[in-house]
Amino acid sequence: MRSFGAAIGLLLLAVSAAHAADAATPPRGANSNRVVRNDYPKESLAAGETGVVIVRTFIREDGTVGEAFVVRSSGFKRLDDAAVALVLSRFRYTPATQGGKPVSTWINQGIKWELSDVVDAAAPRTVMLRIHVSETGAPGEIQIVRSAGTTADDAAIRLAREWRHEPQKDANGKPIAGWITFPVGIQIDSNRNVTARVMPRPAVPFGLQRADYPPESLRLGEQGVAIVNVFVTAEGEVGQVNLAGSSGHARLDEASLKVIRTRFRYTPARDARGRAVGAWIRQAIKWELQDDAGAPAE
């Protein structure tokens, strides 16, 4: 019985080994299959464009790429084109196998374009602080409402402590102590030098008006949020604008750029010495329809 049991055991092991040999294994990316800063299109870097591209990729038996094309866009043609070019020119794989032999196959390759710690002018990090300011404008307790990492947070807090803030005022115009929101833009260059500045803020509250909504978008019920890169000049005027994130509708995206160019005004950014300077910010424009009349919400 022992010999019979041993024979059965050996047979099962042999069958399992045969199945393992026939099993397919998927391709694996080589170490070079990663996006580095030099891969980023310069125009996309300046515009702060980010996104994920899905590239349909044909991998040959030797692990090289034969064909590649976009099956899901990042929302930006420059990034899509760069992703395909990158996969075709540099990506290599350990090929898929079938029965222990290399075989060709198709895969979906994701390429993630994101801005790294080396932050560009078009997309600065923003640290949002909450500060208790005395009636004389002196900062007291500081809380981090939105972090951008330890280095950025520390630089923002240093600036906030050195800053002479505008205190709140009561109904009679008398300065009083209270909490304020204080956005600080942080830029970190390739040498890890950190620059902190007070970010531009709206000079007056903004609200979309019904006339801002494209008539065809109203008719079709189009809604969404467009993210726009805005360069605010040292005078608080709107300079360059470009789309950083689509609302999903070209008409709303174009209307977002138009309304920012024509109506938006800001208090300018200021450097650590209090001088007005130009700066990039990101402005969200939310397009939504009210249930009753289809007018854009304020």
Cα separations in angstroms, 256 against 163, 226, 229: 33, 7, 11
- Residue matched to tokens 């309304």: 259
So what's the pLDDT on residue 105? 93
Half-sphere exposure of 212 (CA within 13 A, CB side): 27
**Residue-level pLDDT, tens digit, the chain, 298 residues:** 444 343 333 333 333 344 444 457 888 887 566 677 678 887 776 666 778 899 999 999 999 999 999 999 988 899 999 999 999 998 988 898 988 899 999 999 988 887 643 334 344 578 889 999 999 999 999 999 988 888 888 999 999 998 888 888 888 889 999 999 888 888 776 667 788 888 888 887 777 888 899 999 999 999 988 988 888 999 999 988 888 888 888 899 999 999 999 989 898 888 877 888 888 888 889 998 875 444 444 4
Q: What is the pLDDT of residue 142?
A: 94
The per-residue pLDDT for 14 is: 39
Token digits of residue 181:
């929101």
Output the pLDDT for position 217: 92
**Residues with Cβ within 8 Å of residue 125, at least 6 apart in sequence:** 119, 148, 149, 152, 185, 186, 187, 188
- Domains in the chain: ranges and CATH: 21-113 (3.30.2420.10), 117-199 (3.30.2420), 200-298 (3.30.2420.10)
For position 47, what pLDDT does the model report?
A: 64
Rounded Cα–Cα distance for residues 48 and 121 (Å) = 8
234: left (phi over 0), alpha (psi -120 to 50) or beta: alpha
pLDDT of residue 253: 92
